[in-house]
Structure 1
Amino acid sequence: MRKATVPLAVLGLLLAGAGTAQAAPADGPVPPGLVALGNPEFTANAMAPLKVTDWADFEADLDAVAAYGVDAISVDVWWGDVEGAADNQFEWDYYDRVFEVITAAGLDLAPILSFHQAGGNVGDDYTSLLPEWLWEKYAGRSSQGVHLDEYGLQHRSEQGNHSRESVQGWADRLVMNEYRDFTRAFEDRYGDRYAEDVVEVNVSLGPSGELRYPSYNQHDEGTGYPTRGALQAYSPLAIRDFQETTLARYGSLAEVNRAWGTDLTSRDQIAPPEDAEAFFTSRAYLETQYGRDFVDWYNGSLVDHGERVLRTVIRTLGDEFPGADIGYKVPGIHWSMTHPVHPRATEVTTGLIQTSVDVDSWATGHGYQRIVELANRFDGGPREVVVHFTALEMDDQDYAPQYSLAQTLVQWIGDYAHRAGVETKGENALAGGLYSEEGWDNIEEAFAGWGYLGLTVLRVGDVSEGVGARRYAELIATYGPQR
């Protein structure tokens, strides 16, 4: 159990700066403030490398961060590495070693059930593809009346490209048993050995382990930072689900036509935007009933996918790892937010916000209400479900071409989560911010004013010495954990 010990000089600086950190628009609520201060739920974690190759360096890094109070190490447990060879054949030797090394350093474990691909994203220095047998196993199956081909489990974008980084949520009813089997195998292997050492099980819900669509990933052209990205709703399963959801909402095709101002003659004509670029440049995604309905379905499908996978993992774990929370990661998609043509568009293509609500209102979490309140769908359950939000180290860059409100977004999420009763912890988006005094100032502001309860840094080697080690140690000392 932690005891709060707050150096007065450091606390004075935080409180002095909290007036700035807590400033909110006139129509906004009073910001949460120093929620983490003296809170036993405060945690300070660090991520392991995507794959440890230099064990001596890794052990030295662990010793360094353990010495100043880091709690646990977050470790990707790659589906493609463990079960890549064949269905239901699991290889755990690497994780036997990495978990042993971490716990020998006096650190706890925060494993990530990584149902996504490693490689192909910013900072990735390791590649682990999803199991090849997975795509082959489900080719030829049918779901929702859709016959699947070799791409059947994959997202399909507005450009017609397929992504193999994670399984699309519209295929959950087919592959949920795969997530269950992997979780059960993990629990069978480590449930007794590390029953008291696992403090959180983080669950991958999409590419990069984040609850989002692969809207700015490498399978599409011209969709990287800081563009609007690309919609990922064009697979046969996605289209069928959109049709069924729309007809269930309106009751008949005639009522769909009445609401949308269309003259559709067949349910098969209910479809994602035919011209996605025009969908955004015309502001149809914000200003038409069709556009708001489509975005609501797209966002809702993502949140429902998150619930299904989290619930499966929680049920499968049962009573194992009794002290472990369940975590899911929400990315800070901070660019294109104030774009003069299509504001908030990248948050739409990644599936993070609704547009049927006021996206400028604190009352709706600026559109993030459903994503954040996913955690509350598990109230009264056996485990606390925690949100991890990225980009705590970043500044606003509200100018072309970024049109970024990264720091503002951190405030929106922290504020809304606090009011919704959701435990929220933070991460840095990129390692570079850990080498900057300004980056750490932004992290401290998130804790001082906006209700964040913990931090996981990317990665342990970035905070084992230098600015990262000094500033992380100061943050940990301020918020009270003493071993």
Structure 2
Amino acid sequence: MNHEEKSGSMILETFKQRRVPIFVMMPIDALGIDTSGVPKIRKVKALTMSLKALKLAGVHGITVEVWWGIVERSSPFDYNWSVYEQLFTLISGSGLKLHVALSFHSNIESSKEKGGVSLPLWILEIGHLNRNIYYKDQNGFSSNDYLTLGVDQIPLFYGRTALQCYEDFMYSFIKKFETLMGSVIEEVSIGLGPSGELRYPAHPSKDGRWEFPGIGEFQCYDKYMMEDLQKAASQEGQPKWGNKGPQNAGRYNSLPSGVPFFENGGENFLSDYGQFFLEWYSGKLIHHADAILAKAANMFKKYQDNGSDTVLLVAKIGGIYWWYQTESHPAELTAGYYNTALRDGYEPLASVLSRHGAALHVSCLEMADSETPSNYGCSPEGLLQQIRTVSKRRIVHLTGRNANERFDKAGLRQITTNCYQAEAGSFTYFRMNDKIFRVENWNNFVPFVRRMNSDH
């Protein structure tokens, strides 16, 4: 046993925990829309065989993204759950449980398939006439991946606010699958932003605007968020602060050095203006989560602590680990996490989750600091440690997933270590594809699953 294996074994022995159930996320192209506009399951036979193999390996369940853009695709209130009824039957028939991810975002940018899943067509029609329903950066560029939180309370969607659209969708989901709650559906994550995560789309890599390790850009320039900023600035007695976001915060691919807002500029992140803006920007995100999770918690209340038929409510956050070791944490700030060397930005988020009985789902559990570039202030382990500490203080359960595909023993061992240290309630492997079943990968994956399944 080499030094790395010895240290990993020592950590695992130190953090002896109960088993960690493994969910595997469905392939990104598992569902599609045929030429007539009907949603369908792709490659049903291959999927069935894959599910059986995963069950035999000891996998606990499957994570399924339930897309707003599939279910309420054509017109408001016209919910079509048929493809998910088929899929849930297929999965439960294989003896597997479900983590359902209610997805109010689009995966058009991230899908390799030409189709992908957009937002509902009727939402896109509204967006074609009014681009301000989406997040915008300082140059006016927007993407139609997720509605701006600026429209949460504005009835732009055939008389409904965005929040009401999300609420109605959740209600329809519960009504349709009530008999599966707790017995088959064990976890439900509520989509709160791009990729389902509570964050701003500050690092848009898929359209070429951003690449690692850029600091990203603030995303508050749609009409509705700017109106809210102006109102907040006036209430602060500083109306000029409401005219725009920070003008000295660089561009998507800037590094922190030489960017005044994140260093020692006149109106930097520590100035009165900087603190006002960051409080407002992050506060809007926290309020967005609070509003949606309040609705979700109320609807799922009867499935909470219901003996063996409990449904765990889950909220996801992004793993913004680069520039974590700097004073200003710029990549986190642009994403909406007001976390710096002087301020804990995850405390208010954990407080909201605790209030609504929701678990916190974190990514990057496969990452070790030693594997990241040394000159970009990266610390996925430091970030996880901070989130772990905050969650324990606020009595918030943690669940997690990997951000990058890993089949090697070191990567899988890091997942195991992080899950045990965090006392994770479950782990989602991201995601199912052909590679996982290749002999050399499968031979590492199966022992990993069995290790996570055993009581330590």
Does 2:358 align with 1:358? no
C-alpha displacement of 1:118: 1.0
Would you say the 8 A contact 1:436–1:467 is kept in 2?
no
What's the C-alpha RMSD, in Å, of the aligned pairs?
3.0
Alpha-carbon distance in 2 for matches of 1:269, 1:68: 56
TM-score, normalization: structure 2? Answer: 0.82
The alpha carbon displacement at 1:230 in A equals 1.2
Within the candidate set 29, 34, 43, 2:15 is matched to: 34
Partner SS state of residue 286, structure 1: coil
Cα deviation 1:172-211 (Å, max 9, x = unaligned): 1121111122112222222135562110111111111111
* Pairing 1:178–2:165 present: yes
Deviation at 1:14, TM superposition (A): 5.6
CA 12–218 in structure 1, closer or farther in 2 if over 3 Å, else same: closer
Q: CA 1:135–1:479 in 2, change beyond 3 Å: closer, same or farther? A: closer
After superposition, the Cα gap between the structure-2 partners of 1:221 and 1:289, relative to the gap in structure 1 and judged at 3 Å, is: farther
Q: Structure 1 residues 13, 268: closer, same or farther in 2, change over 3 A? A: closer
Per-residue Cα deviation, 1:42-101 (whole angstroms, up to 9, x for no partner)? 422111113422222211221122113221111011111111111111222221221111
Q: Distance in 2 between matches of 1:428 and 1:206?
A: 18
Tell me the number of residue pairs that the alignment of Structure 1 and Structure 2 aligns: 417
Contact 2:318/2:362, CA 8 A, preserved across alignment: yes
Structure 1 residue runs without a partner (length 5+): 1-10, 20-32, 140-148, 257-265, 379-383
Q: CA deviation at 1:317?
A: 4.2
Distance 1:417 1:297, change over 3 A: same
The CA distance in 2 between the partners of 1:160 and 1:80, in whole Å, is 25
Q: 1:244 maps to which residue?
A: 231
Q: 1:470 to 1:133 in 2, by over 3 A?
A: same
Structure 2 counterpart of 1:292: 275
1:58 to 13, 26, 47: 47
- Specify the alignment match of 2:424 in structure 1: 452
Distance 1:57 1:271, change over 3 A: same
TM-score by length of 1: 0.78
Contact residue 228 and residue 346 of structure 1 kept, 8 A = yes
| Counterpart for residue 392 of structure 1 | 365
- Shift, 1:124, TM fit: 7.5
Number of the residue aligned with 1:311? 294
Contact kept? 1:79, 1:114, Cα under 8 Å: yes
Equivalent residues in 2 for 1:154-303 (5 A)?
Answer: 154-173=134-153, 174-192=161-179, 196-217=183-204, 222-248=209-235, 250=236, 253=237, 256=238, 266=239, 269-277=242-250, 278-280=260-262, 282=264, 284-303=267-286
Name which structure has the greater RCO, CA cutoff 8 Å, separation 6+: 1
Q: Deviations over 1:379-415 (max 9, x none)?
A: xxxxx41111000112325646643212332222223
Corresponding residue for residue 347 of structure 1: 332
Distance between the aligned counterparts of 1:319 and 1:302, measured in 2? 27
Moved more, 175-184 or 218-227: 218-227
* Counterparts of 2:312 and 2:400, CA distance in 1: 15
Runs of 4+ in 1 over 6 A off after TM superposition: 122-125
Contact in 1 for aligned 2:360/2:396 (Cα 8 Å): yes
For structure 1, which segment, 319-328 or 100-109, has the greater mean C-alpha deviation from structure 2 after superposition? 319-328
- CA distance in structure 2 between the aligned counterparts of 1:444 and 1:192, rounded to whole angstroms: 33
1:2-151 to structure 2, matched below 5 A, reads 16-17=10-11, 34=15, 37-38=17-18, 42-52=20-30, 53-121=42-110, 127-137=116-126, 150-151=130-131
8 Å CA contact 1:65, 1:464 repeated in 2: no
Alignment correspondent of 1:7: none
1:192 aligned counterpart, secondary structure: helix
Residues 1:469 and 1:409: Cα distance change in structure 2 (over 3 Å): farther
Contact 2:412 2:448 in 1 (8 A): no
User: Once structures 1 and 2 are overlaid, which stretch shifts more, 472-481 or 225-234?
Assistant: 472-481
Q: Structure 1 residue 170: deviation in Å? A: 1.9
Match of 2:346 among 368, 381, 402: 368
Q: Which amino acid aligns with 2:332?
A: E
**CA apart distance, 1:269:** 4.6
User: Which stretch has the larger CA shift, 368-377 or 123-132?
Assistant: 123-132
SS at structure 1 position matched to 2:227 = helix
